[in-house]
């Protein structure tokens, strides 16, 4: 649930007055702080769209929505706005340290390709290894950045799941 305190918006009769688009720039903060959006947030406490459609426990449904939100383009593509905030919360693989400011800057300017339920296969000689499926894989090939997001709803990590994904990324995306 998103909780925000917003000031300076009024006129419920004109719900679009708060949402400004100037010079092609959409201000998501104005939308989130608008009275209509805040009313929707309160309604969400009582009625969840995920519950209405019977998909509140579907990791795939949540992955699809999250992927659309994190995309750099498209109707829900808020990636450029959300990525700096997400990057500030991430850790490097195998570390508890937050990303450095240079990594945050790289991720913030990345144009991620979003892949959902991406299969992790390694082919070595005549041997194939299945490492599972990544719920969300965000990749920017030009910047050589890969981010894996594993969605968990009422489930724990599978046996060596993060280790398997890290092994796959290390082999499949060498030099990233």
Would the pLDDT of 26 be above 80?
no
Q: Is 157 found in the same domain as 82? A: yes
Q: Is 68 found in the same domain as 32? A: no
Would the pLDDT of 11 be above 70?
no
pLDDT at 135: 94
Average pLDDT over the chain, rounded to an integer: 77
Determine, yes or no, domain membership for 114: yes
What is the domain range of residue 161? 57-172
Range scoring the smallest mean pLDDT among 81-90, 107-116, 149-158: 81-90
- Residue 99 is classified by DSSP as P
Range list of H helices, 21-111: 28-33, 35-46, 49-52, 59-70, 79-87, 101-108
Q: Express each pLDDT in 97-135 by its tens digit.
A: 888 888 888 888 888 889 999 998 877 766 778 888 999
Q: Express each pLDDT in 89-98 by its tens digit.
A: 887 767 778 8
Q: Is 119 found in the same domain as 39? A: no
Q: List % helix, strand, coil for the chain (3-state, nearest 5).
A: 35, 20, 45
Number of domains in the chain: 2
């Amino acid at each position: 649930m998103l909780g925000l305190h917003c000031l300076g918006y009024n006129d419920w009769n004109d719900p679009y007055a708060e949402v400004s688009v100037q010079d092609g720039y959409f201000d998501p903060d104005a939308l989130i702080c608008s009275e209509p959006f805040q009313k929707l947030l309160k309604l969400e406490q009582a009625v969840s769209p995920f519950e209405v459609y019977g998909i509140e426990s579907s990791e795939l449904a949540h992955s699809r929505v999250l992927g659309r939100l994190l995309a750099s383009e498209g109707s829900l593509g808020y990636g450029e706005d959300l990525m700096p905030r997400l990057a500030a919360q991430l850790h490097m693989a195998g570390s508890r340290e937050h990303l450095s400011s240079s990594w945050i800057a790289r991720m913030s300017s990345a144009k991620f390709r979003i892949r959902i339920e991406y299969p992790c296969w390694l082919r070595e000689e005549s041997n194939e290894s299945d490492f599972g499926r990544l719920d969300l894989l965000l990749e920017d090939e030009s910047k050589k950045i890969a981010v894996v997001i594993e969605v968990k709803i009422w489930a724990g990590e599978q046996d060596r799941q993060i280790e398997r994904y890290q092994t796959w990324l290390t082999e499949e995306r060498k030099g990233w």
